[in-house]
């Protein structure tokens, strides 16, 4: 039984791990040391503190915003609300955002933010005050704006916080036409985009589906190709974990285990993800769910149960040398950022496993954030201009085919063929195309160089080459 708690390990160096992965991958590129150093380093690290009123007194809040790379503008990255936030973590996540955007061909530089609080310990008004003050501090130093740096939700934040940020920025910049493009992950009513909330989880599910569809790779790790019937354990029942499990189940996988901080549940015959979600909403815990055949008070024990695919979708450093040998999955799909330590990854591969790296696997969120940003700049919803035109064109085509063949389609068939694409359908189509193309780009790099030993290294090589080209084309000013 694994009782290791990553929060107790103060020796971890997340940014150092990212840099080590970078350095290892860099040897498979042809770029000079100076350019590689420019790509690897964080360009701007802003650490600040600000007070808020609590009761009759004050509390001082620690916060960060890191802009890792301006090879593309604006920079892009979420804001994490967590007591565990620190400068090293924010720097690491900002770096991963740079490489993530490059991998999925989204024209942003990488950034990340963090506020060192536990949101559960604050009232709604206090959270709003903290979020708005954070936004003001960013604006004072030119660390936010639709063409400068565009935040998004992350662990502990969501649509509500993004709304407060958008309103604060717009208030401070009266008359700015593109003000709502200063942040993504907003609710649809505030110029958000359909499909953004579930985008990261949907992207994880598509990444897994694409990975297991390659028969050659599955044969090497002892699995049959195809997602149907694959047993999956998901860690985390937040936004990413819930939607990852939901869409994997829709694709045909069997969700056999779920892990949360209060414990884990397992049923080899499968779990109903929505029923578990509602049970936790009603009771505050996944434990006690009547459809579970096994329960574990230590959440990490849930990761060690029999399955084909493990999806860690919570926090970093969850799979380490302390528990990796007990992991029975053949594939780890990293829904979270940095859930697998480098040492654990080496052991997992040596034991015949395969890891879908975080910098690709959870890129669905930033991909759809890009679509939202484009929507905000264009000031029109996707599909609004052409949907009716497409439907009329399709109707004319159906009428012509029916007239030529003499065969009348059923009302259901006509409706299916004629219907134009909604914004959600267009967003999901763009996300799916992005995830599929990017996976095979990484895989080709992995397969074409026998010295590249993991998909993570291949992903880094792809990212380094793309960022390097941008810097080379930009030159150096002055």
Residue 258 bridge partners (DSSP): 234, 265
Please state the φ and ψ torsions of residue 278, each to the nearest 5 degrees: -70, -35
Active site residue 281: no
Write down the catalytic residue from 40, 76, 100, 112: 112
Dist. CA 183–CA 167, nearest whole Å: 10
Dist. CA 89–CA 163, nearest whole Å: 25
Dist. CA 227–CA 270, nearest whole Å: 15
Dist. CA 223–CA 307, nearest whole Å: 11
Per-residue tokens: 351: 């034991």
SS3 content of the chain, % helix, strand, coil (to 5): 50, 15, 35
Cα torsion 346, 261, 209, 75: sign: negative
Dist. CA 205–CA 311, nearest whole Å: 10
Q: Is-contact 364 435, C-beta < 8 A?
A: yes
282-300 b/e (C-beta count within 10 Å ≥ 16 → b): eeeebbebeebeeebebbb
Close Cβ partners of 380 (under 8 Å, ≥ 6 residues apart)? none
**Could you tell me where the beta strands, DSSP code E, fall in 261-320?**
263-266, 294-296, 309-312
Q: What is the DSSP track for 344-398?
A: HHHHHHHTT-EEE-HHHHTTHHHHHHHHHHHHHHHTS-TTTTTHHHHHHHHHHHH
Dist. CA 143–CA 169, nearest whole Å: 11
Q: Is-contact 233 318, C-beta < 8 A?
A: no
Q: Give the residue numbers annotated as catalytic, written as ranges.
A: 112
């Amino acid at each position: 039984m694994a009782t290791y708690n990553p929060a107790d390990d103060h020796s971890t160096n997340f940014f150092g791990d990212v840099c080590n992965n970078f350095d290892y991958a860099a040897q498979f590129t042809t770029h000079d040391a100076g350019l590689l150093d420019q790509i690897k380093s964080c360009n701007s690290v802003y650490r600040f503190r600000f007070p808020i009123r609590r009761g009759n007194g004050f509390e001082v809040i620690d916060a960060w915003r890191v802009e890792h790379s301006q090879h593309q503008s604006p920079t892009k990255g979420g804001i994490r609300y967590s007591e565990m936030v620190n400068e090293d973590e924010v720097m690491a996540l900002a770096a991963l955002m740079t490489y993530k955007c490059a991998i999925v061909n989204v024209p942003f530089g990488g950034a990340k933010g963090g506020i060192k609080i536990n949101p559960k310990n604050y009232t709604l008004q206090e959270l709003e005050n903290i979020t708005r003050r954070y936004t003001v501090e960013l604006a004072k130093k030119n660390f936010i704006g639709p063409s400068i740096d565009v935040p998004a939700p992350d662990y502990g934040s969501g649509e509500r916080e993004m709304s407060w940020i958008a309103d604060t920025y717009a208030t401070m910049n009266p008359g700015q036409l593109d003000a709502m493009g200063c942040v993504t992950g907003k609710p649809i009513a505030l110029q958000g985009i359909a499909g953004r909330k579930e985008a990261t989880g949907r992207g994880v599910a598509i990444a897994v589906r694409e990975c297991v569809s390659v028969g050659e790779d599955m044969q090497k790790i002892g699995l049959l190709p195809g997602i149907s019937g694959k047993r999956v354990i998901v860690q985390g029942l937040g936004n990413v974990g819930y939607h990852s499990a939901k869409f994997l189940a829709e694709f045909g996988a069997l969700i056999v285990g779920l892990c949360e901080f209060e414990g884990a549940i397992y049923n080899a015959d499968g779990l109903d993800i929505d029923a578990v979600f509602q049970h936790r909403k009603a009771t505050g815990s996944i434990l006690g769910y009547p459809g579970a055949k096994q329960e574990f008070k230590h959440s990490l024990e849930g990761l060690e149960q029999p399955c084909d695919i493990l999806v860690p979708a919570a926090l970093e450093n969850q799979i380490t040398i302390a528990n990796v040998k007990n992991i029975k999955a053949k594939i780890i799909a990293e829904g979270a950022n940095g859930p697998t330590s480098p040492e654990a990854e080496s052991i997992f591969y040596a034991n015949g496993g395969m890891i879908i790296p975080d910098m690709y696997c959870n890129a669905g969120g930033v991909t759809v954030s890009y679509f939202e940003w484009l929507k905000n700049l264009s000031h029109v919803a996707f599909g609004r201009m052409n949907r009716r035109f497409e439907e009329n064109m399709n109707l004319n085509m159906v009428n012509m085919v029916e007239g030529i063949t003499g065969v009348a389609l059923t009302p259901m068939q006509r409706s299916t063929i004629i219907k134009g694409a909604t914004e959600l359908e267009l967003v999901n189509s763009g996300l799916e195309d992005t995830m599929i193309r990017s996976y095979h780009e990484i895989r080709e790099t992995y397969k074409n160089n026998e010295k590249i030993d993991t998909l993570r290294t291949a992903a880094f090589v792809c990212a380094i080459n793309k960022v390097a080209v941008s810097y080379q084309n930009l030159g150096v000013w002055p």
